[in-house]
Amino acid sequence: MSYSVLVRAAAQVEAAKAFLWYEQRSRGLGDQFADSLRICLDQLAKNPKLQVQKNDFATIS
């Protein structure tokens, strides 16, 4: 079973900024960032219990 992951607009904007920041550092690095983010979101959709809550932030363990 797979769940839906809601990415808020502010998080989408932040991810886009991060993509550009990485891409400016090294061509292709932004794509690596986007791929890593996509993998994390896919893992979260497959098993939301993998996330760890710490200091008001959820991370993938």
**Cα end-to-end distance, the chain, whole Å:** 20
Q: Which CA distances in Å does 56 have to 24, 52, 53, 59?
A: 30, 10, 7, 10
* Token pair listed for 58: 């959820």
Query: Residue 48's pLDDT is what?
Result: 81
Tens-place pLDDT, residues 12-60: 999 999 999 999 999 999 999 999 999 989 988 998 877 767 777 666 6
- Quote the pTM value: 0.78
| Torsion sign (Cα): 54, 4, 12, 37 | positive
